[in-house]
Amino acid sequence: MNKLTSVFNSRRYWAALTLLGIAALAVALYYQYGVGDEPCQVCIHARLWVVALILIGAVMCWLPLTRGTRLVGNLLVVVSGAGLGERAWYLYQLENGIGNGSCQFELGMPDWFAVDRWFPSLFEVRNLCSFTPEMLLGLSMAESLMLFAFGLCCIAMTALFMTQQSQD
């Protein structure tokens, strides 16, 4: 248990979260540019939550790792995981005809956060929501994102609990 606590209290944990986010973004870009599966509005929203994870991890690698910064960092990871999970669930509902959701051909962000115009290769909506591609183990991308988000929240909640129990 002490070894796990020391990992959660270290920069290695934050670097690992950053790399995990980069890997998730790389998978999304592979499906867009390698496979040709263009992203929809909800997919881009999910990418934004993954970029938030990357930024949180990167900033935490540079900040002093006090109990307070670890608390805030892990809470932000939980928020980004929950946001990603909500978008993945929404996408799952759309592709399975559950609920009353809809999808637009624009990102829907305010002008002051026009990431689709600033970085179109990453954040431009290029498709309407429909079926997501099949990934590992026969799971759809929406199902895979739900599992990823759930795992991310579990890791961050464990880190929250363990690092708040430990002494600085």
pLDDT at 167 over 70: no
- Residue pair 125/44 in contact by the 8 Å Cβ criterion: yes
pLDDT at 56 over 80: yes
37 compared with 5, residue with greater pLDDT = 37
Q: How far apart are CA 80 and CA 71, in angstroms?
A: 14
pLDDT at 157 over 80: yes
pLDDT at 151 over 90: yes
pLDDT at 99 over 90: no
pLDDT at 24 over 60: yes
Provide the mean pLDDT of the chain.
92
What pLDDT sits at residue 124? 94
Q: How far apart are CA 136 and CA 138, in angstroms?
A: 5
What pLDDT sits at residue 166? 65
Q: Is the CA virtual torsion 39, 42, 43, 44 positive or negative?
A: positive
**Region 133-137 average pLDDT:** 87
Q: Please list, in sequence order, all residues whose beta carbon lies within 8 angstroms of the beta carbon of residue 138, skipping any fewer than 6 positions away.
A: none
- Residue pair 77/158 in contact by the 8 Å Cβ criterion: no
Domain limits, the chain: 2-165
Q: Domain 2-165 is of which CATH architecture?
A: Up-down Bundle (1.20)
- Residue pair 103/128 in contact by the 8 Å Cβ criterion: yes
